[in-house]
A and B are shown apart, each in its own frame.
Chain A
């Protein structure tokens, strides 16, 4: 067994082109409910991928199908070039961590971590050494003889992580591993898991409904909704160029406004003409939805040359700590409400107040265009 601390050595089937995990047209139904609808995905070796989506979107179903715990109805799954579609969980090669930790309460920390090793007929000394190495790795070197109930939630989750890694699986599956922890512990463990994953190079899939978690941890995010994949991309791609109104709305916040295409690169929003770099591929006059992230509304450095300049009245201003969220009503289009986030120092510097009229700009490259009637 190779030491975990060494950088990962790619095996014979680890050529850069071939994905480590390949999922092809997966389908799964529970009665009348479609949990997975034709899902295909490829994950590279050593990658950290997050399945992100609201509850019931199929992300956990997909994870459990990969593990073989709830096999899919149709479609194939390949791990490391091997078709595992019809194999039971134990014949696949993965370690798994659950939200509930699922630690065996009657076994010590060491026995929990060594649970999968004992079964392989290794000498006791070797198992002991391996367990100690893993516990050192997750920062619990001195807790070997304790029982799970004597540990905090964060510590228990680290034990679960060590147990999942003990058998050196090729794939690490994390099913909402941080959701049961309180906010502070969650932040710390987020960093620790990420660092550990980088160090070990183990291909990792994490299911989460927490967008912040996904954005900060993943190499790539798979956004899911209604049993289908909405978008796959790096955190920056997902945030900056959401492929659908659903993604835009689920990751970060966004104002959605009804508009129509006024010409190439131009849209018409309730009497205001705006230029918009995203407005291509739609016919003139096509009804669309415009999305704008509140933090993109610009207030400073506006001059006569600034595009999409407009005057707007501040209807309300809600204090949210480090920033304020304003509801803006453009003078030229009183039926429209635009959300804008103003940083605390901007509010202080410009003495922004409720009822005041402000000149703002909506940057053309920040306006995202989606087809009208698209499911959110």
Chain B
């Protein structure tokens, strides 16, 4: 009976060596892609910071000049000050909100969570624009500032609080959701007081989440460009410095130095996150019993009130810019109009930035998802070229530690370089798409890896024993099983490519200006209403994509994933 199987042994051998060949080629391509889109741009940035304007190596001269120019290095203190202040405000607010979402019996938790996550779907510029409307020179709440100006550190900190809140909240909800009910039962059985339980059980359990959230927020604030640009006024921070040096003064070397300094907190945060994650795993055993919050009227009512207030505030601040985008002439004529959406009156590019962004985000989602998922498959599920796969994984994790602004700078130096044959792409949509994929690679990569790790590791072995080529099993089994994760990745890439400002601000060309940059330009030119309108368009599009995601997920689960149901 083995005769049938032995009929064509030669062709079987051939087919498999083709299997291994194809996968090896895939790994080589992946490494090449990651080197070109991630490693080389960063290398360009690094080397540029040690060169003068003509490209000669000058050692630390640029750094020396930077630190001996007070107007430049003062920005470091400004950035630190603002970041510390924003972190100190965001973390307690988000912790309490996360506590309300995870440890009370409040109703409509999903709604409150969604409301708090809204800022994720807007460019960071949006809360800043709203603050301008509320507290700016024409703002109706200006009196609340008692003569202080919103343009400057106050505005930056407040806008950052709104922008960073969902990022901190996601981490803290995850940290607080993981709790072992037994620890609480033991503590209560021993007659521990509530405050002591909070101090000895709740806080230690969420400790790593808190540390992680602090660093994430700190890094976000230090490296965010949009808010400081819109509402920073004369208050210089690192992110705006990098922009001014490169775009304003064409001083690439000094821009590179600022970029390198911006890299520091992010790399530190990344390293701490690694350590924290490794420790977090050991904290909760598989046998832990999930905590079910018990009813407690007083606590629940107080936290509901808090969540309502904060949720409304967040939605309100975002809504402010949306409302303002429909106002005829703030604050004198509050009648509604669509004229702010006629962008041709503010900017010669008119509506094209919006369509550029749409095109860019769609392409980033489509191309990025294919590359990321196939790449993660090669890294996780194949056995060829172990060194190549290790390098690919390392490179894929790198963008997490690189702020968009820094990566954008790296792209400027890399793609612009005279020696680089890729410089024909400078200013094209291709560069914007590739840069977006690289910028958001890590989270997408981790999502894909997580999904792939849940698949039985022996599928590839079974396929080989049945003489089925790997790509057939990839297409017929792996991809269908991972479809939810694949859609996740696509939506994540789409929303982030749509809302990002920092990376693309250096890279667009005359014909490829994206919407987020158009917002910066309109705001710069004093057309705040136009900026608000464009930001509103982005928010609506991002929310639309998210809604599509939810619907698609349902559909996929219903139709294509019937096999998941018992």
Chain A: residues with CB nearer than 8 A to chain B?
A: 1-2, 4, 8-9, 11, 67-69, 80, 82, 87-91, 93-96, 98, 100-102, 104-108, 115-116, 119-120, 147-150, 163-164, 166-171, 173, 202
Chain B min CB distance to A203 (Å):
9
CB atoms of B466 and A167 under 8 A apart: yes
Closest to A165 in B: B1
CB atoms of A8 and B1 under 8 A apart: yes
**Distance of A38 Cα from B466 Cα, bound (Å):** 29
**Distance of A9 Cα from B4 Cα, bound (Å):** 13
Q: Does B480 contact A (CB under 8 A)?
A: yes
Q: Does B555 contact A (CB under 8 A)?
A: no
Q: Which residues of A contact B469 (CB under 8 A)?
A: 119
Chain A min CB distance to B479 (Å):
9
Closest to A8 in B: B1
Q: Does B146 contact A (CB under 8 A)?
A: no
Q: Does B29 contact A (CB under 8 A)?
A: no
List 19 A–B pairs whose Cβ atoms lie within 8 Å, in order of A's numbering: A9-B1, A11-B2, A11-B3, A69-B461, A88-B16, A91-B12, A96-B461, A98-B461, A100-B458, A105-B563, A106-B477, A106-B480, A115-B468, A119-B468, A149-B564, A164-B465, A167-B466, A168-B1, A173-B465
Choose one: B463, B467, B563; the contact of A147 (CB below 8 Å): B563
Chain B min CB distance to A28 (Å):
14
13 more contacts with CB within 8 A, not counting A104-B459, A116-B468, A120-B467, are A80-B2, A87-B16, A88-B17, A91-B12, A96-B461, A98-B461, A102-B456, A102-B458, A105-B481, A167-B5, A167-B466, A169-B2, A170-B5
Chain B min CB distance to A221 (Å):
24
CB atoms of A119 and B472 under 8 A apart: yes
Q: Which residues of A contact B562 (CB under 8 A)?
A: 147
Q: Which residues of B contact A108 (CB under 8 A)?
A: 563
Q: Which residues of B contact A150 (CB under 8 A)?
A: 566
Query: What does the 1/0 interface line of B544-563 toward A look like (CB < 8 Å)?
Result: 00000000000000000111
**Distance of A42 Cα from B458 Cα, bound (Å):** 26
**Distance of A195 Cα from B561 Cα, bound (Å):** 36
Closest to A173 in B: B465
Closest to B17 in A: A88
Known: A90-B19, A106-B481, A170-B5. A96 touches B465 (CB 8 A): yes
Q: Which residues of B contact A69 (CB under 8 A)?
A: 461, 464
Q: Which residues of A contact B467 (CB under 8 A)?
A: 90, 116, 119-120, 167
Q: Number of B residues contacting the other chain (C-beta, 8 Å)? A: 37
Chain B min CB distance to A9 (Å):
7
Choose one: A102, A116, A169; the contact of B459 (CB below 8 Å): A102
Chain B min CB distance to A96 (Å):
5
Q: Does B195 contact A (CB under 8 A)?
A: no
Chain B min CB distance to A109 (Å):
11
Known: A106-B477, A107-B476, A149-B565. A89 touches B465 (CB 8 A): yes
Known: A106-B477, A167-B466. A89 touches B563 (CB 8 A): no
Interface centre among A68, A90, A100, A102 (most CB of B within 10 A): A90
CB atoms of B465 and A94 under 8 A apart: yes
Q: Which residues of A contact B480 (CB under 8 A)?
A: 106
Q: Which residues of B contact A87 (CB under 8 A)?
A: 13, 16
Chain B min CB distance to A89 (Å):
4
Q: Which residues of A contact B564 (CB under 8 A)?
A: 105, 149
**Distance of A166 Cα from B461 Cα, bound (Å):** 16
Q: Does B174 contact A (CB under 8 A)?
A: no
**Distance of A104 Cα from B469 Cα, bound (Å):** 15
A-B pairs, top 7 by smallest CB distance, nearest first, are A116-B466, A170-B2, A89-B464, A88-B16, A102-B458, A147-B563, A91-B13
Chain A min CB distance to B1 (Å):
4
Q: Does B421 contact A (CB under 8 A)?
A: no
CB atoms of A106 and B16 under 8 A apart: no
**Distance of A1 Cα from B464 Cα, bound (Å):** 20
Chain B min CB distance to A66 (Å):
11
CB atoms of A90 and B462 under 8 A apart: no
**Distance of A91 Cα from B466 Cα, bound (Å):** 10
Q: Does B387 contact A (CB under 8 A)?
A: no
CB atoms of A90 and B9 under 8 A apart: no
Q: Does B20 contact A (CB under 8 A)?
A: yes
Q: Which residues of A contact B3 (CB under 8 A)?
A: 11
**Distance of A149 Cα from B565 Cα, bound (Å):** 7
Interface centre among A119, A164, A173 (most CB of B within 10 A): A119
Q: Does B15 contact A (CB under 8 A)?
A: yes
Q: Which residues of B contact A149 (CB under 8 A)?
A: 563-566
Chain A min CB distance to B468 (Å):
5
Chain B min CB distance to A264 (Å):
52
Q: Which residues of A contact B2 (CB under 8 A)?
A: 11, 80, 93, 168-171
Q: Which residues of A contact B111 (CB under 8 A)?
A: none
Q: Which residues of A contact B19 (CB under 8 A)?
A: 88, 90
**Distance of A171 Cα from B461 Cα, bound (Å):** 15
Interface centre among A87, A104, A147, A168 (most CB of B within 10 A): A104
Query: Which residues in chain B, 516-563, are within 8 Å of chain A measured between CB atoms?
Result: 561-563
Chain B min CB distance to A295 (Å):
38
CB atoms of A88 and B13 under 8 A apart: yes
Chain A min CB distance to B62 (Å):
45
Q: Does B286 contact A (CB under 8 A)?
A: no
